[in-house]
Amino acid sequence: MQLKKETVRKKQLEKLTQSKSTWSKQLNELCLYQKLFALASWKNAKMVAVTLSSGSEIDTKPLILQAWLQNKDICIPRIFPQRQIRFFKLEKQSKIEKSSFGVLQPAKTEKEVSKEKIELVIVPGLAFTQKGERIGFGGGYYDRFLANYHGDTLALADPVRFFPAAIWQAEETDQNIQQILTI
């Protein structure tokens, strides 16, 4: 029997909160970064989209630093009405603010990046399967964005986020991720 996404989301948030300050989480992230930086999709991308992580999410600061060290451009999402996200270039002087959900995002005055220029999107989430199925944080923002996105997508899934198969009910609007990196 498959569970409702909301049930899995709640359980995942509890598990991720418990593990967020552990060495094993940090070590798993280091191993994921190493795998990511060896991928052709990372090496070839000139514009990479990531979130500004917080809390129990996979820490994206090392991704941003590595991208800058390799002269890649980074863009980060901003939330818009009708549960839409658009991406804006992240530079050292970029203005960052908190959304009404408490998520760090670029100010509206920053430089928007067209979807076509983004070559790699590193998709956040709470649960992933090897087939690319995903449970996000709710709202369908990334599913809407990815519905007509044609670049590469991948996700970093530490052992707490990785499921051999989906235990949740898929929705018609779900967008699978092309590649799931695991430990």
What are the binding residues for ATP?
5-9, 134-142
Pairwise CA distance, residues 1 & 167, whole Å:
8
Region for 45 from its dihedrals, namely left if φ exceeds 0, alpha if ψ lies in -120 to 50, beta otherwise: beta
From the list 118, 130, 116, the residue with the least C-alpha distance to 90 is 118
Nearest to 156 by CA among 136, 179, 131: 179
Binding positions are: 5-9, 52, 57, 134-142
Cα–Cα distance measured from residue 169 to residue 7, given in angstroms and rounded to the nearest whole number: 10
Both tokens of 124, joined, read: 């956040």
**Phi and psi of 106, rounded to 5°?**
-70, 150
| Cβ–Cβ under 8 Å, residues 127 and 116 | no
Distance CA 18, CA 65 (A): 27
> What residues are designated binding site for substrate?
52, 57
What whole-number distance in Å separates Cα of residue 175 and Cα of residue 30? 27
